[in-house]
A and B are shown apart, each in its own frame.
Chain A
């Protein structure tokens, strides 16, 4: 489902070129659960952004669902992000002026889904993360763990095949972290491909594959 071939990503910082990814080759099968680990600045987020079609490799090929993303237009990549790929971030990125349901409805709104259908699907997504009773609450009335679960509901409401999570538990206490990870694992068990960036060895251990990045290069750890 995902195939990276010799992917490089370099950034121009003043005169110098900084290599964030240096020749990453990686294949991820449908339904896989992959943990990305490694020290800060090793390129985990950069790799995740490329996988999510938010960023593009400087060099190399990235095939998503058998399509070469290098040849896709900006519009086509937006369409992929809209319907095939879900994102979860460390800092939740909920819009504070919208309710939980309103936040979950956002991607459906961009996709032009009719309001009544949006409401029922958002309600369903919130129920699947155990927050049906919080639909009318605004983010500032929710705990960190609840906020992240709303963000997860938003990420999966369009029925994507790939879920990318960048340190989803980085801002949560132990209990909330476990809840969030259990939720993600349950979705993975239902067939969703999951790539999680994490610093937590306990969380990494639960993944089927662990990929360690260091200074832009990768090595896969034996299971």
Chain B
């Protein structure tokens, strides 16, 4: 029997019970729509996080005090005897494969000028931070090149902070007070947006030694190292580890985090979330499959006489089995296609209503959703099809 004839025959049988067929296909459609929606949200979130991290470039390496075995916030588990110092940062300056070294301290402080003030994050860094973090300056210049242990009453403002306290006038050359001490504004950064919830534009940058005074710190919160290339990262990590371990009298009491590692960890976390979400969506698909199974079972029972006739006309057992398998695959496949369209449509509506929503459907996921519905059809049609093909033709003809 030709496949096209088979398909037409089966389609005819399905459209003979329009409402019933539509309802059971709808069961699968809902499942597939759920799968498409949820996996698209997962994929969108993953891409969002990847883009958040890669805005710093993938060659950035972070060193924080304290040893953290698993992914988490470095340093909170304390207990380290050796902290990271400006001398540690200095010792990394001329290692091979390293382009820039930025010692970092940060904390919150109040920035005031002309009666207006804001509590914002203050980053103590060096001249190289702008290049290492890929934060360009919009007006004026970034902090000047100077020894990291020198204090200077200079600052660079984030665009939002500048706007809020200078009300649209240029802050260049004006004075602000940060935590009570006076600073001269030498530059304003370009807008950078948010980084996992922190508003990078609502902050100020001052020389690291001044920031250590301001926050009363003797150690750094972090040292950022920019590798010459992504390929140089493993070598740089090794170099940094051996130099710092030597400086810390043989203690490996710091944590080196590379962007690729962070992305890996996030990728794995996202994979788990995606799998969990897919499992939930898969349950609704299972419900759809049971619907198809039920309808196909009823259909085989109703069409017993027809099955007997087809056998009398020379259709083989296998032919009967194929007929019912294709029928349920077609039913589920149509449901799958409908579900995919509904999922994409709902996604489009959602993203139009909530522009911030991370929603990305990968072509692979779309194809997989429809393929999965076909599989669901074949699986749930298998049992009824076996029953149909197992019927004794004489017995079957007697039904009616």
Contact = CB atoms under 8 A, between A and B. Distances in A.
B320 to A, nearest CB: 10
A97 B310 contact: no
Given A109-B5, A109-B9, A95 B309 contact: yes
Q: Which secondary structure dominates chain B's binding surface?
A: helix
Nearest to B2: A112
8 contacts: A54-B312, A78-B311, A78-B319, A81-B313, A87-B312, A93-B309, A97-B13, A111-B1
A102 to B, nearest CB: 8
B235 interface: no
A74 B317 contact: yes
Interface stretch (B20-28, B283-291, B392-400): B392-400
Nearest to A109: B5
Interface string B1-38: 11001000100110010000000000000000000000
A157 to B, nearest CB: 10
Interface residues of A, number: 28
A110 B397 contact: no
A79 interface: yes
Contacts of B5: 109, 115
A139 interface: no
Contacts of B1: 109-112
B314 A95 contact: no
A82 B311 CA distance: 9
Nearest to A78: B316
B7 to A, nearest CB: 12
Interface string A42-57: 0000000100101100
Interface in A81-106: 81-83, 87, 89, 91, 93, 95, 97-98, 106
Given A81-B314, A83-B314, 7 more contacts: A49-B394, A54-B393, A78-B319, A81-B311, A95-B306, A97-B12, A115-B5
Interface in B269-301: none
Given A54-B393, A98-B12, A115-B5, A82 B314 contact: yes
Contacts of A97: 12-13, 16
A33 interface: no
A219 B310 CA distance: 33
Interface of A: 49, 52, 54-55, 74-75, 78-83, 87, 89, 91, 93, 95, 97-98, 106-107, 109-112, 115, 154, 158
A87 B393 CA distance: 13
Contacts of A82: 313-315
A54 B315 CA distance: 12
A80 B313 CA distance: 10
A87 B394 CA distance: 12
B372 interface: no
A54 B309 CA distance: 10
A107 B316 CA distance: 12
B305 interface: yes
B305 A110 contact: no
A52 B312 contact: yes
A31 B12 CA distance: 38
Contact of B305 (A83, A93, A98, A158): A93
A53 B310 CA distance: 14
B13 A106 contact: no
Contacts of B12: 97-98
A106 B316 contact: no
A194 to B, nearest CB: 17
A154 B314 CA distance: 12
A89 B317 CA distance: 21
Contacts of A49: 394
Q: Which 8 A-B pairs have the closest CB atoms?
A: A82-B314, A81-B314, A78-B316, A93-B309, A97-B16, A107-B313, A87-B312, A110-B315
Nearest to B313: A107
Contacts of A91: 400
Nearest to A82: B314
B5 to A, nearest CB: 5
Nearest to B315: A110
Contacts of B308: 93
Contact of A110 (B306, B319, B393): B319
B314 A107 contact: yes
B313 A154 contact: yes
Contacts of B317: 74, 78
A70 to B, nearest CB: 17
Nearest to B314: A82
A78 B312 CA distance: 8
Contacts of A112: 1-2
A54 B314 contact: no
A91 B305 CA distance: 11
B394 A110 contact: no
B314 A79 contact: yes
